[in-house]
Amino acid sequence: MSKKMTLVVGINPDKYEIDDHRLRKPVWHQKHENGQLVGSGLFQELDQLKVGNKELTYFQPNNISILLSISKKQLELSKEFFATQFINNHNELSYINYSGDKKKFIGEKSKAICDYIELVETSIVFAYTSIEAFANISIHDNYKYTYKNKSKGIEEIYDKEAIERWITLKDKISIILPEIYKVMKPTQKKWWSDFIRLENYRHNIIHQKTIDSTDFYKKYFNEDIFRICSTAEIVIQYFYDETAKQNRTHIMWPWLKKVKSEFPIAFDFDEMKAEVIGNLYEGIKKKGV
């Protein structure tokens, strides 16, 4: 039986402070007697790795949060770069109006173009991947998706592995996740068209059919690209908001800075299973999984 370690980081969520939005949430363990809360503790999962001959202990990162963080950092950099390099009134863009070395001038602008494309494409790819990761962790192991294939005249049944591999992210977000979380389909939301564009941009990057074509880069120079790159958190927030109405959450959901996130709850708190060393915040709990 493998062992995992968790650190006691509080009694209840009211006074919990988030150290880093990229980490997994603590689990709020509760003990009830006669319908009353009589025991409570926040347990945050730890992991360990070896670096050389040293052992490092750390709170477990949330992979979706890491993906979101990369995308958002590149988005902020791309906004700043766009403002300073391309729309700054003091920055000349046309070589025709430039009186100096035109080859050097065009070379510098070409470098700026490439630097900007790198920033935007990194943001796009990681934004899309964060949504994909969010969708896949939402699908539980026993879930089955049934699709009536009219052209073949058959009914196709997909398990979790098949869904992750064969069902498009668009269908996961518009069909499967609403069914799992029992919420309305988001296809009528204002952000849906931005999500579709994000998906198209990501596919253009990953599945380039004509490597010599660079026309799709030009779309990055419309300022709505920044709104499109921001779509990932909006998509995830939609499912947060809708499930919060049902008092539900998911243990692997990331922190969102603009949303009061719910804590995952476990109804198995037992103070005898937690070895508290010194004060409460030094308590280490080992559990079998």
Alpha-carbon torsion (140, 142, 148, 151), positive or negative: positive
* C-alpha neighbours within 13 Å on the C-beta side of residue 54: 3
- Concatenating the DSSP letter of every residue in 27-44 gives EEEEEEETTEEEEEEEEE
* Cα distance between residue 73 and residue 282, in whole Å: 33
* Cα distance between residue 195 and residue 177, in whole Å: 15
3-state secondary structure 157-189: EECHHHHHHHCCHHHHHHHHHHHHHCCCCHHHC
91 three-state secondary structure = coil
Token pair of 218 as six digits? 């030009």
Q: According to the model, what pLDDT value does residue 129 have?
A: 98
* Cα distance between residue 43 and residue 10, in whole Å: 8
* Cα distance between residue 159 and residue 146, in whole Å: 9
Which residues, in sequence order, are bridge partners of residue 48? 57
Pairing of strands 36-51, 284-288: unpaired
26 three-state secondary structure = coil
Contact 102, 95 (CB under 8 A): yes
**Residue 20 DSSP label:** -
H/E stretch holding 54 reads strand 54-59
* Cα distance between residue 203 and residue 181, in whole Å: 27
Contact 190, 234 (CB under 8 A): no
H/E stretch holding 154 reads strand 154-158
Under 8 Å CB-to-CB from 269, ≥6 apart: which residues?
29, 30, 31, 39, 40, 41
- 148-153: Cβ within 8 A, 24+ apart: none
Nearest to 126 by CA among 58, 185, 202: 202
* Cα distance between residue 131 and residue 207, in whole Å: 18
* Cα distance between residue 258 and residue 165, in whole Å: 31
Q: According to the model, what pLDDT value does residue 274 have?
A: 46
Single-letter amino acid code for the residue at 105: F
Domain chopping of the chain, boundaries? 3-61+257-288, 63-143+172-244
pLDDT per residue of the chain (289 residues) written in tens, 0 to 9: 356 788 888 887 777 888 888 998 888 777 777 877 777 778 888 889 999 999 999 999 999 999 999 999 999 999 999 999 998 877 777 777 777 888 888 899 899 999 999 999 999 999 999 999 999 999 999 999 998 887 777 888 999 999 999 999 999 999 999 999 999 999 999 999 999 999 999 999 998 776 556 788 899 999 899 999 999 999 998 998 888 777 666 767 787 765 555 676 665 555 555 443 334 444 455 554 4
